Structure 1
């Protein structure tokens, strides 16, 4: 009798142990899934903010180097100040959005300085432009670092194209930090050189890595070109693949609607909506 009781007791303990382990494992998987989604959301916000920087850079450069130059920079808000200095061979351009910030037409708020330098060569088919950021913010996120941009007047499609190498440090409003390095190619597919920045459209390809403060690194590859419309505050379509150690996922920016929504699908097929 006692033997049977001990056997039953042992089975109950084993059963409870298995349930506890299963629940713990499920909780860990849920926590990990949530954590990965949060990192994906931060990565998406960086993607969007870096495109705001690229918009601003290209807008200023193309206005400065336009065959028929429009006085001032009518695509920038009035609170932005553009300073130009030149030698016989080089041109330096500084755009200062001030410490309080300037609101762009698409609703993004920029603070700090964007500084660029390049050789004076109006006939060059390709031109290398170096630029750096000083106390620079896109909305509440700070960006530090530099980029090297190779501007091609015409690619094989007959469109202007910009190859960008980046090395940036990002600090979010809550103090969370990340670094990003990699390359992007921006093809200007609509609205080029017509004097109306608001109708410009770019397709973006490339790959890069983002390392968060905790040491986790996302390797990112664009699998469907990202579509950037200058009139919209957000990337409107395209998809990137995220890889981190044994986890993968796809970040999809949607079907072209101008909104702050995207979806993240992890390797198990679970889909979550995220906000840019």
Structure 2
């Protein structure tokens, strides 16, 4: 999903007239390289959320040290320590890149802290990074996920997006904001992924190495299906230097068609 947002960001850079090529330029324009790197932070957030949610549930409790399979791949070692109700779980991806199911490469550690209140209506999972890299980008920060069950029975996760990401060339990106992901279908079949459907809302701000700021706001819930490589519907407003571009993913069809609206002009795009 985030590969598509990366491609979109490059389109938006051109659409709002950003034509600078120097990453260190302090002008108010935003370079395509900066926007592309900022978009990749979304990829990091999604992968980390999937890991944190899957490794903080009851099915993973009571384990000591083991090689984790399925979602995390067999190159991850999980160590769990429990003191009373408090659980600390360390996910060690090693010092060499480890491929996730979606092909993204990670290394280092994610340390989760939570209680064994698996049946509580609301649960908070805290996690931190220890020399953690995602596709060779260094990720830092202490974050939280608040998991709840809605009145309709859907699991929901509210994700704190605050983190610092340093690229291989030394560019530092600061991300703040919040994303809410509602698990609308497939939550009753945890061992089957293909029927999963998520509805995502939220807004976030990214400060780029140049000091420029890009804001993204989901104005119509973004719908992602596990069995479709494309986002099927939803809309996001991207604001940069006072310019607004509106991305519309469509009305539910699994295809790469989308539109970008700038100054009232609609552009058909393939993501």
- TM-score tier by shorter-chain length is 0.7 to 0.9
Distance 1:256 1:37 in 2: 29
Deviations 1:38-63 (A, max 9, x none): 54433332222211111111121236
Aligned match of 1:205: 201
SS in 1 for 2:57: helix
Q: Structure 1 residues 169, 156: closer, same or farther in 2, change over 3 A?
A: same
Tell me: higher relative CO, structure 1 or 2? Use CA pairs within 8 A at least 6 residues apart: 2
Q: Is the 8 A contact 1:237 1:253 kept in 2?
A: yes
Deviations 1:152-191 (A, max 9, x none): 1x21321011111231001223332211011111111222
Q: Is the 8 A contact 2:147 2:156 kept in 1?
A: yes
**Which consecutive residues of structure 2, in runs of 5 or more, have no partner in the other structure?**
1-15, 21-27
User: How many pairs are equivalent?
Assistant: 243
Query: By how many angstroms is 1:131 displaced?
Result: 0.6
Aligned match of 2:186: 191
Query: By how many angstroms is 1:214 displaced?
Result: 0.8
Deviations 1:177-212 (A, max 9, x none): 211011111111222242325323322111111100
TM-score (norm 1): 0.74
SS in 1 for 2:132: strand
Query: By how many angstroms is 1:103 displaced?
Result: 1.1
Q: Is the 8 A contact 2:230 2:254 kept in 1?
A: no
Deviations 1:231-253 (A, max 9, x none): 67776653321222322223456
Distance 2:133 2:172 in 1: 14
Distance 1:269 1:39 in 2: 25
Aligned: 1:94 with 2:82: no
Q: How does 1:5-154 map to 2 (within 5 A)?
A: 29=17, 31=19, 35=30, 38-62=33-57, 64=59, 73-75=68-70, 76-152=72-148, 154=149
Distance 1:237 1:108 in 2: 24
Query: By how many angstroms is 1:35 displaced?
Result: 3.7
Distance 1:231 1:112 in 2: 29
Q: Structure 1 residues 231, 107: closer, same or farther in 2, change over 3 A?
A: farther
Distance 2:80 2:240 in 1: 43
Q: Is the 8 A contact 1:40 1:264 kept in 2?
A: no
**Which consecutive residues of structure 1, in runs of 5 or more, have no partner in the other structure?**
1-27
Aligned match of 1:181: 176
TM-score (norm 2): 0.75
Q: Structure 1 residues 206, 243: closer, same or farther in 2, change over 3 A?
A: same
Query: By how many angstroms is 1:130 displaced?
Result: 0.5
Larger radius of gyration: 1
Q: Is the 8 A contact 1:221 1:240 kept in 2?
A: yes
Deviations 1:87-132 (A, max 9, x none): 0120111111111121122222221111110122233111111111
Q: Structure 1 residues 111, 128: closer, same or farther in 2, change over 3 A?
A: same
Aligned match of 2:4: none
Moved more, 53-62 or 28-37: 28-37
Deviations 1:250-269 (A, max 9, x none): 3456766587x987654474
